[in-house]
Amino acid sequence: MTATLPNVITALRLVMVPVAVILLIMDGGQDGAERWWALILVLLASLTDWLDGYLARRWNVVSSFGKLADPIADKALVLGILAALVWVDGIPWWPLAILIVREVGVTVGRLAVAKGVVIPASRGGKIKTVLQMTAICMYLVPGMPGWFDAIAWWVLVAAVVVAVITGVDYARMISRAARDHREGKNATDHDASRSATGGSEN
């Protein structure tokens, strides 16, 4: 139970994503009960993001699944809610477009090298997530004045800037991991070839 609970919490966060998106779309920008429930779910999802990592470290049960699934759950939550906000509230679409390109690129790259090495979330990536969640939660609060939404907008822009910077850093790490994996594989193949020929070279 101890070994699987953090992963169960991560999976639960993934389930919260479509529910929160559906509630936000159902509200349709009317600032009704559905929007409040969407906000509550997003806040709970943020709490589970902290909780699963805390439990995994406390119980020393950090897993490859958790290292990969946890950031994927974060990305699904952020991109899903942002897409709903673009649709319902009409916030500018370009931050969402940049974040989609960045998150898809990083996720695909991490999965591509997952056999050789698991690349965990960086500190910059965590800062980006905090900024994103702050902006989203501010946007979700019903009935706020225009200046409040303006602050949310600039927090979102800051999140996009951090996302681009950390995306470049992740690309470097993924490229290095892929190169090291290829070099290690080539060295192994070379050793195996030498063993097969008696270890002699002519």
Residue 56: which pLDDT band, with cuts at 50, 70 and 90?
Answer: confident
The span from the CA of 92 to the CA of 82, in Å, is 10
The span from the CA of 71 to the CA of 56, in Å, is 14
Number of domains in the chain: 1
Of 19, 10, 55, 11, residue with least CA distance to 37: 19
pLDDT for 24: 95
Q: Which of left, alpha, beta for 198 (phi over 0: left; psi -120 to 50: alpha)?
A: left
pLDDT for 125: 81
* Domain presence at residue 137: yes
Which CATH number goes with the domain that contains 134? Answer: 1.20.120.1760
* Domain presence at residue 200: no
Residue 11 class from Cβ within 10 Å (0-12 exposed, 13-18 middle, 19+ buried)?
Answer: middle
As a whole number, mean pLDDT of residues 161-187 equals 81
pTM, two decimal places: 0.79
pLDDT for 86: 96
- Quote the radius of gyration of the chain (alpha carbons, Å): 21
